[in-house]
């Protein structure tokens, strides 16, 4: 099992696309160095909001904190689909307030 933790993600949607591409290139290079048989768990702040849209359910599952996916969330989901990964929340969210 291999854990990857990234904290270099551009923190706002307003930052240059070049920085975001650079981040995902680094992430992809790191994943490509791991053997296919290893379990990959990627942790970090992607500044992504993953919504409850049905189109993403195969990749994100049924639990989500947000109703709509933001641009960073879409990019993260697209990357996960491309690499055969899943996106999961750390726990089911209950709106009790």
Query: Measuring CA to CA, how many Å separate 82 from each of 54, 85, 92?
Result: 18, 8, 25
Residues 36-67 pLDDT 10s: 889 888 887 787 888 889 999 999 988 888 88
pTM beyond 0.85: no
Residues 23-36 pLDDT 10s: 889 899 999 999 88
Asked if residue 3 has pLDDT above 60, the reply is: yes
Asked if residue 83 has pLDDT above 90, the reply is: yes
Rounded CA separation 10/16 (Å) = 8
- What the block records as the tokens of 21 is 């591409």
Q: Where are the domains of the chain?
A: 2-83
- What the block records as the tokens of 44 is 């970090």
Q: How many residues does the chain have?
A: 97
């Amino acid at each position: 099992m291999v854990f990857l933790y990234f904290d270099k993600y551009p923190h706002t949607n307003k930052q240059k696309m070049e920085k975001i591409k650079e981040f995902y290139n680094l992430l992809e290079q790191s994943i490509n160095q791991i053997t296919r048989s290893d379990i990959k768990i990627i942790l970090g702040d992607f500044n992504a909001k993953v919504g409850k849209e049905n189109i993403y359910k195969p990749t994100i599952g049924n639990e989500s904190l947000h109703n709509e996916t933001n641009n960073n969330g879409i990019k993260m989901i697209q990357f996960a689909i491309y690499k055969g990964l899943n996106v999961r929340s750390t726990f089911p969210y209950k709106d009790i307030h």
